[in-house]
Amino acid sequence: MPQTNISDSAKALMEEINNRKTYLETEVYPLLAQSEEGGTDEKKNVFDAADSQYSEMQEASGYIKQAYLSALSASDELSSRMKELRKSEKRRILNAPSNALIDYKEEETGHFAQKLNAYKIALIVFIGSFAGVIVELIWCYIRNGHFESRSGLVYGPFNLLYGAGALFLTLTLYRFRNRSSLWSFAGGMIVGSALEYLCSFGQELVFGSASWDYSRMPFNVNGRICLMYSVFWGVLGVMWIKNIYPRIAWIILKIPNHIGKAFTVAAVVFLAINCAVSYTAVDRWSKRHSGMTAKNAAQRFIDERFPDSRMEKIYANMTFDK
């Protein structure tokens, strides 16, 4: 398909607009001024003509704004795609595959986890819940010199906060995956901070407990979020959509369709059961802390399987309101 020169078209449009401005200044504006002394019919004719010009200019302004935003978006995406291609050419092993390549491969192979379908979303939550705990364990060891549980579920090193964070970052930033990093930073900062605030508020509301408190950090909001960690979420947004997500998507691409579908269903069932048991165990732990004894066989079973000593190891930083 032959391409027209957009720059030439834009220049021609600019000339047309300037010609219209000249016409308004030399023809329409004087008539409007003169009509003040004219009769009713004369005023109506002048105002009708001016109103027609106004409507046309307003409609043109709307199209020009849309064209400007579209051109800005297209140029930004083209620049980002070229930059990612240059990076992948320099160090193929160290750099993540480009999102553009992943999009192409998913469509070409008819993969079971294309774009953001249910399979892809479920796997992102599962992998994010696991990987986030491992990264925080390593960070805790580097900072404190010892390992400390960062799990959010009772079975295995999984924390749905990280899974939810990975999911929301992906859903929010996916449209910007081929755009410049500035978009990813802004989106990650906003979405991550909102998620962290809601999780803190929800935990306190449901269980009367808190897993973190930023009250002593500068620029905090009710101790639930603070500027430093909001910036961290922004950096994480860039890292996620430009480096981590492409690697995860590339690994998922290697999973055969018949195996991938079955594994994804099993992972979802496992997380659902894990969440239900974890919620019940934390609820009983909270009630034991308040002096409420077990009232039935199910509660006694949970108390035996998840005593305070075990829960304190799993949720090392969890505290309850006195």
Note whether residue 1 is domain-resident: no
| pLDDT (mean) for 132-151 | 81
| pLDDT (mean) for 35-44 | 74
Asked if 73 and 103 sit in the same domain, the reply is no
User: Hey, is 24 helix, strand or coil?
Assistant: helix
> In this model, does residue 322 exceed pLDDT 70?
no
DSSP state of 95: S
Asked if 161 and 302 sit in the same domain, the reply is yes
Looking at 30, 63, 90, the residue that finishes a domain is 90
Over pLDDT 90: what percentage of the chain?
27
Q: Residue 266 and residue 276: Cα distance in Å, rounded?
A: 16
Looking at 71, 90, 109, the residue that finishes a domain is 90
| pLDDT (mean) for 125-153 | 85
Asked if 103 and 86 sit in the same domain, the reply is no
Residue 104 tokens read as: 């192409």
Asked if 76 and 135 sit in the same domain, the reply is no
- Give the number of domains in the chain: 2
DSSP state of 214: -
When mean pLDDT is compared across 21-35, 106-120, 285-299, the lowest value belongs to 21-35
**Residues 6+ positions from 246 with CB-CB distance below 8 Å:** 96, 97, 98, 99, 102
Burial of 22 per CB tally in 10 Å (0-12, 13-18, 19+)? exposed
> In this model, does residue 21 exceed pLDDT 90?
no
| pLDDT tens per residue across span 204-231 | 888 787 778 888 888 899 889 999 889 9
Note whether residue 169 is domain-resident: yes
**Domain around 299:** 99-320
| pLDDT (mean) for 292-304 | 90
**Residues 6+ positions from 259 with CB-CB distance below 8 Å:** none
Average model confidence (pLDDT) across the chain:
86
